[in-house]
């Protein structure tokens, strides 16, 4: 696991290089689009383009640390804490918030899960660092029941 300070440095680097990668992002006119900007064993950096109305299910990030930063527009985030011990599932809504450019989150473990949406009328853009990379992630309902395990897919790979 790379240090949090290192993740901040990575986010700052890709914010600074925004003009290089932003014009290359696919911008589907529905939902959200995931583009990988770079990847190594320790982490990967994704740019997500959110068309108005885009909405993720409640999801984890495998066992990975997840740092997010809104670059443009605003995102509505619901954060949950989920535990499963001896077959008993507990799910708690930790926070609902609206994140603007410059704001973000850090989810530190598989217990911390979230859903993200862009319900406004403007497009939004965000950076995501996952450490280490993950290949599958869980999708949940509001009771904490795991509905499925989905593969992590990219709409484009730039690095
Ligand atoms: Fe996420």
Domain hosting 44: range is 4-157
Evaluate if pTM is beyond 0.95: no
The string of pLDDT tens digits covering residues 57-93 is 999 999 999 999 999 999 999 999 999 999 899 999 9
For ligand 1, the distance from its centroid to the CA atom of residue 82, given in whole angstroms, is 14
The number of folded domains in the chain is: 1
Taking the C-alpha atoms of residue 135 and residue 151, their distance in angstroms, rounded to an integer, is 6
159 alpha carbon – ligand 1 mean position (Å): 20
**Span from the CA of 111 to the centroid of ligand 1 (angstroms):** 12
Percent of the chain with pLDDT over 90: 89
Q: How far is the CA of 66 from the centre of ligand 1 (A)?
A: 7
pLDDT at 4 over 90: no
User: For residue 109, what pLDDT is reported?
Assistant: 86
**138 closest CA partner among 56, 58, 60, 55:** 60
Per-residue confidence (pLDDT) for residue 1, from 0 to 100: 67
CATH number at residue 128: 2.60.120.10
| pLDDT tens-digit series, residues 35-58 | 999 999 899 999 999 999 999 999
Split at pLDDT 50, 70, 90, the class of 110 is confident
pLDDT of residue 89: 95
DSSP annotation of 56: P
CA angle 42/45/51 to nearest 5° reads 150
Pick the closest to residue 62 from 138, 129, 139 (CA basis): 138
Question: How many whole angstroms separate alpha carbon 36 and alpha carbon 48?
Answer: 9
- Chain mean pLDDT for the chain: 95
Percent of the chain's residues with pLDDT above 70: 99
- CB-based contacts of 84, cutoff 8 Å, min separation 6: 90, 144
- Cα of 100 from ligand 1 centre, angstroms: 16
How many Cα atoms are found within 13 Å in the side-chain-facing hemisphere of 26? 14
């Amino acid at each position: 696991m790379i240090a949090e300070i290192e993740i901040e440095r990575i986010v700052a680097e890709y914010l600074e290089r925004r003009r290089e990668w932003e014009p290359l992002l696919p911008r589907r006119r529905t939902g959200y689009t995931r583009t990988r900007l770079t990847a190594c064993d320790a982490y990967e950096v994704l740019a997500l383009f959110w068309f108005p109305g885009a909405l993720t299910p409640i999801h984890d990030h495998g066992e990975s640390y997840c740092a997010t930063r809104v670059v443009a527009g605003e995102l509505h985030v619901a954060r949950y804490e989920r535990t499963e011990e001896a077959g008993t599932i507990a799910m708690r809504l930790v926070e609902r918030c609206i994140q603007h450019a410059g704001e973000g989150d850090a989810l530190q473990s598989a217990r911390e899960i979230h859903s993200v949406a862009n319900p406004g009328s403007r497009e939004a853009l965000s950076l995501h660092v996952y450490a280490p990379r993950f290949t599958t992630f869980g999708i949940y309902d509001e009771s904490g029941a795991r509905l499925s395990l989905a593969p992590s897919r990219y709409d484009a790979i730039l690095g």
